Amino acid sequence: MTVNELIAEAQRSTDELYLKCIRCGKCLSVCPVYRETRIETLSPRGKVALYRAVGEDDLEVGEVYAGRLYTCLMCEACREVCPSGVELDVILNQVRADLAHGGLMPDSLRRLDETIVTAGNISGEDNKQRLGWTANLETVPTGLDHSGQAEVAYFVGCVSSLFPASYSIPQSLVQIFEKAGVNYALIGDDERCCGYPLLLNGEVERAREVARHNVEAVLATGATKVVMACPSCYHMWKHTYPELLDDGDLDDLEILHETEIMASLAREGRLRFRPWPITVAYHDSCDLGRKSGIFEAPRDVLQAIPGLELVEMADHHENSLCCGGGGNLETYNRELAWALPRRRLKQAQDVGTKYIVVSCQQCKRTLSGAAHREKIRVRVMDLAEVVLRQAEGEANA
Amino acid sequence: MLDPKLSAIIGELKSIVGEQYVLTSPEDLVAYSYDATFTSARPNLVVLPANTQEVSEVLQVANREVIPVVPRGMGTGLAAGSIPFGGGMVLPLTRMDRLLDIDYDNMMATAEAGIITSDLADAVAREGYFYPPDPSSDHYSTLGGNVACNAGGAHCLKYGITGHYVMALEVVLADGRIMRVGGKATKNVTGYDLVHLLVGSEGTLAVITEVTVRFIAAPKAERTAEAVFPKLVEAGKTINAVLASGVGPTMLEIMDETAIKSVEDYLHLGLPLDVEAILIIQTDGDEADAVRGIETVVEICRQNGAREVRVAVTLEESEELWQARHSISGSLGRIRPNKLGEDITVPHSAVPEMIARIKEVSAIRNLPIVIFGHAGDGNLHPNILFDKRDAEECERVELAVGDLFRAAVEVGGSLSGEHGVGVLKRPYLEMAMGSVAVEMQNRIKRAWDPKNILNPGKIFLLT
């Protein structure tokens, strides 16, 4: 069988995925890529049409086809509004896996995959540098010396570990843990990429390998809980690892996002806040909100800060607008990915705030990068940064 | 493979709109082959202009070479009006999406044709104004497309359709000349009313590039009622009684038992499955008007046999009531893979009879037909559900469509209230309008587009 035949065969076998599309066009109203480009081929409806044309032997699979189907944030906004129940994410996972096997993954994404496999992280740096962010903290984080007695393992993630602009997120979170007396562990260079970028590129087996490694590394700390600040790592651990690893290793591990742990610390009175009279908008990241259903924990934390007024932008909760940082799009088409955050920044300005609070290092990087480039006066902070800024008391390190 | 005539002009078109905005890959041609109907046909190329000047230059080339040009907004039409059945060039106006001016003194807004309708409506709403035409696709269709098809929507019962709001147009003629018609004067009988000849012309007379619409002060309050009727006939009596009461509802929508079942199956809203019709009725005005109006409506519903009437007070409650109505069309894909949504329009007193006749057609042709629509203005959307891959079933769909149109004309109605004729209703145009009216339209088309390059074959075939 040729690649084309293989892919067409696979797509015929999943024809119920595309037959549901009645081409109403509702997805065009929410797709960030379509709203920016206004090109039908890049819209969710267009992608389903291409997939269908291949399944019906009406279109050859080639580089252009691959390119159109990789031009997606995988934000799932289309799935949320689709009245027919078309699951574009399921279609694209299938297509990307087929394209990867057929040798049609775009080069930039193939290089990303190779980097992850060889270096263990997305940046390609020596994985031993994963604790670089701890170097300029005033006190050494207690989590570095946990001697197998920790309650919570903190899985930092590639971006926060290796991109200096994101260091302040793990730095804030460990200081919050110390203030609140959380017994935590850092796993340092034993951590590998969570596997999400591999999965987005269609590399299921490679994703399974890193998943197994990471679960073993966390279990070795003796922790019964694992926490991530990165929503993509969280979504992988919480929803995909159990599917990839069917050996029950995850059964006794509670998987938490930073927003959940901070919300419970605030609720239990282990974190108390100084007033901050300010108006902020909370930006739901796709992986944490729409895909994982965590909307209220971060809002509860913000509302526990006296004087802080929380406002909602035009698109919020399930209908939140992707920052532009999803789906490996930035790796594949940086020009397009960089144009996307403008709409979100404008939505913040429209509701009269200069502050967007996120709980995702990728949203922070994408939105603040765009604000800087476009000279838009909106400041973007991670929830951990806000909490550390307003938390009372000293770290009892 | 491109036709040699087209290959020769690709370079010329690229020099007009830019290399990346002339699309010829099979992938792009697939994506511009369809609208929101079940039909499709691939163009030979797609050209995406950025401004009126580029549209003009592209049309000069197309007219010289006699290449069909199919103008397109967001491809959400329901009559196959923007599908390039004869090949040629699809001309999406989507890159031309700027809001050019909001003139609050005259209460008019001017925008490029490719603006998304709700973007314009939201912009005026921020200042307390209201642009009423609200096709259910208003978040995913363009203003230019709405004008070209004279789109309606639920609010049209009280506030009128798109054409009632269009004040001025900038269009490009088939030969590339740019023409401005209309203006901001609210009374203007200078010459033929070319603005309203172009409204609803479905891209057959000119390419619309800029639109000026008027808007109005937003009503201060709204109330929505949902009334459940065990018997369809009683819902029909209620429609007539509400319209005669002087309340002036903004919307009066009907869902029949098939639509209720389809939505309930999709959303599990707790809709009753043992009734023949639900009416959703909205009133507006200042707070006192809206409340008084809805009280009258509730009274009329009860007198005419409604089993249950709910009134929404908050915006959230109102949205909950409308959710069912707004979700019908989309819910249909869960039943059968294809749907043919018709748009017949009848005198409002004939709504119950028309629904009964649709049910007969459904039984005779053995096809599921879901019925809902704007009962207050007699505009019904019977949706025939089928599977395009079943040839025998498709033949029955064809026959059912003819049955529906004949029935609509027999009860004093017509083919389309708001979707337009496109290609799907073309065979029935003469039945609805008569041969003289079709002949006059032929002559108008020839005068505007002598080489028949603009959306050829739509509405009627040239004779």
Q: Which domain holds residue B358?
A: 336-420
- The verdict on B360 and B376 lying in the same domain is yes
**Strand B277-285 to strand B221-229: parallel, antiparallel, or no bridges (unpaired)?**
antiparallel
Q: Are A333 and A307 within 8 A, CB to CB?
A: no
pLDDT at A5: 62
Q: Is B72 helix (H, G, I), strand (E, B) or coil?
A: strand
- The verdict on B130 and B210 lying in the same domain is yes
Give the rounded percent of residues in chain A with a pLDDT score beyond 90.
Answer: 74
CATH number, domain of B263, equals 3.30.70.2190
Domain presence at residue B454: no
Q: What is the mean pLDDT of chain A?
A: 91
Number of folded domains in chain B? 4
**Which of the four pLDDT bands, split at 50, 70 and 90, describes residue A136?**
confident
**Which of the four pLDDT bands, split at 50, 70 and 90, describes residue B289?**
very high
In this complex, is the C-beta atom of A53 within 8 Å of any C-beta atom belonging to chain B?
yes
Using alpha carbons, list the distances in angstroms from residue A279 to A233, A285, A348, A360.
Answer: 29, 19, 11, 20
Q: Which of B345-359, B378-392, B437-451 has the highest mean pLDDT?
A: B437-451
CATH number, domain of B409, equals 3.30.70.2740
- The verdict on B87 and B106 lying in the same domain is no
Max CA separation in chain B (angstroms): 71
Tokens (6 digits) for B322 = 């409308």
**Strand B383-386 to strand B369-370: parallel, antiparallel, or no bridges (unpaired)?**
antiparallel
pLDDT digits (tens, 9 = 90+) for B172-196: 999 999 999 999 999 999 999 999 9
CATH number, domain of B29, equals 3.30.43.10
**Which of the four pLDDT bands, split at 50, 70 and 90, describes residue B433?**
very high
pLDDT at B432: 93
Task: Tell me, rounded to whole angstroms, the distance of Cα A86 from its chain centroid.
Answer: 22
Angle at B58 between CA B55 and CA B60, to 5 degrees: 110
Question: Which of B184, B217, B250 is where one domain is finished?
Answer: B217
pLDDT at B116: 98
Q: Compute the average pLDDT of residues B309-333.
A: 86
Among the residue ranges A191-205, A214-228, A311-325, B313-327, the one predicted with the least confidence is B313-327
Tokens (6 digits) for B42 = 């691939």
Tokens (6 digits) for A33 = 């890529």
- The verdict on B295 and B189 lying in the same domain is no
Q: Compute the average pLDDT of residues A2-14.
A: 58
Tokens (6 digits) for B6 = 């087209």
- The verdict on B208 and B227 lying in the same domain is no
pLDDT digits (tens, 9 = 90+) for A101-122: 888 888 888 898 899 989 999 9
Give the burial class of B250: count Cβ atoms within 10 A of its Cβ; 0-12 exposed, 13-18 middle, 19 or more buried.
buried
pLDDT digits (tens, 9 = 90+) for A257-313: 999 999 999 999 999 999 999 999 999 999 999 999 999 999 999 999 999 999 999
Higher pLDDT, B349 or B334: B349
Q: In this complex, do A59 and B26 lie within 8 Å of one another by their Cβ atoms?
A: yes
Q: Compute the average pLDDT of residues A26-55.
A: 96
Give the burial class of B434: count Cβ atoms within 10 A of its Cβ; 0-12 exposed, 13-18 middle, 19 or more buried.
exposed
Angle at B454 between CA B450 and CA B458, to 5 degrees: 110
DSSP letters of B382-434?
Answer: -EEEE-TT-HHHHHHHHHHHHHHHHHHHHTT-BSBSSS--TTTTGGGHHHHH-
CA-wise closest residue to A182 among A389, A397, A392, A388: A397
Among the residue ranges A201-205, A304-308, A345-349, B411-415, the one predicted with the least confidence is A201-205
Q: In this complex, do A24 and B76 lie within 8 Å of one another by their Cβ atoms?
A: yes
- The verdict on B10 and B64 lying in the same domain is yes
- The verdict on B210 and B117 lying in the same domain is yes
Give the rounded percent of residues in chain B with a pLDDT score beyond 70.
Answer: 100
pLDDT of residue A85 exceeding 50, the answer is yes
Q: In this complex, do B94 and A20 lie within 8 Å of one another by their Cβ atoms?
A: no
CATH number, domain of B111, equals 3.30.465.10
- The verdict on B135 and B103 lying in the same domain is yes
Domain presence at residue B65: yes
- The verdict on B263 and B325 lying in the same domain is yes
pLDDT of residue B447 exceeding 50, the answer is yes
Q: Compute the average pLDDT of residues A85-94.
A: 89
Q: In this complex, do A23 and B140 lie within 8 Å of one another by their Cβ atoms?
A: no
Residue in B23, B30, B42 to test binding to A, most A beta-carbons within 10 Å: B30
- Cross-strand partners of B384: B340, B369
Look at the block and give the residue holding tokens 């509860």: A300
Domain presence at residue B445: no
pLDDT digits (tens, 9 = 90+) for B382-424: 999 998 889 999 999 999 999 999 999 999 999 999 899 999 9
Q: What is the mean pLDDT of chain B?
A: 94
Question: B73 phi and psi, to 5 degrees?
Answer: -95, -110
pLDDT at A257: 98
Please give the radius of gyration of chain B, using alpha carbons only, rounded to the nearest integer: 23
**Which of the four pLDDT bands, split at 50, 70 and 90, describes residue A396?**
very low
pLDDT at A397: 37
The secondary element (H helix, E strand) that includes residue A233 is helix A231-235
Question: Which of B304, B329, B354 is where one domain is finished?
Answer: B329
- The verdict on B233 and B292 lying in the same domain is yes
pLDDT digits (tens, 9 = 90+) for A369-394: 999 999 999 999 999 999 999 998 76
In this complex, is the C-beta atom of B26 within 8 Å of any C-beta atom belonging to chain A?
yes
pLDDT digits (tens, 9 = 90+) for A186-199: 998 999 999 999 98
DSSP letters of B221-271?
Answer: EEEEEEEEESSHHHHHHHHHHHHHTT---SEEEEEEHHHHHHHHHHH----
pLDDT digits (tens, 9 = 90+) for B117-163: 999 999 999 999 999 999 989 999 999 999 999 999 878 999 999 99
Q: State how far the Cα of B25 lies from the Cα of A46, in Å rounded to an integer.
A: 13
Give the dihedral sign, CA B159/B161/B163/B168. Answer: positive
User: How near does any CA of chain A get to the CA of B46, in Å?
Assistant: 10
Domain presence at residue B427: no
**Strand A308-311 to strand A278-282: parallel, antiparallel, or no bridges (unpaired)?**
parallel
CA dihedral A119, A121, A124, A125 (to 10 degrees): -90
CA dihedral B287, B288, B290, B292 (to 10 degrees): 160
Q: State how far the Cα of A316 lies from the Cα of A383, in Å rounded to an integer.
A: 16
Domain presence at residue B436: no
- The verdict on B8 and B73 lying in the same domain is yes
pLDDT of residue B449 exceeding 60, the answer is yes
pLDDT digits (tens, 9 = 90+) for B324-338: 888 888 788 777 888
pLDDT of residue A8 exceeding 80, the answer is no
Q: State how far the Cα of B263 lies from the Cα of B261, in Å rounded to an integer.
A: 6
- Cross-strand partners of B182: B168
Domains and CATH numbers, chain A: 3-105 (1.10.1060.10), 120-264 (3.40.50.1860), 273-390 (3.40.50.11810)
In this complex, is the C-beta atom of B37 within 8 Å of any C-beta atom belonging to chain A?
yes
User: How near does any CA of chain A get to the CA of B126, in Å?
Assistant: 10
- The verdict on B325 and B342 lying in the same domain is no
Question: B214 phi and psi, to 5 degrees?
Answer: -95, 160
Find the residue in A nearest to B20 (Cα): A39
Question: Which of B65, B92, B119 is where one domain is finished?
Answer: B92
pLDDT of residue A3 exceeding 60, the answer is no
In this complex, is the C-beta atom of A339 within 8 Å of any C-beta atom belonging to chain B?
no
pLDDT at B317: 87
Domain presence at residue B371: yes
> What's A56's DSSP letter?
T
Max CA separation in chain A (angstroms): 67
Domain presence at residue B299: yes
Domain presence at residue B23: yes
Q: Is the pTM of this model over 0.80?
A: yes
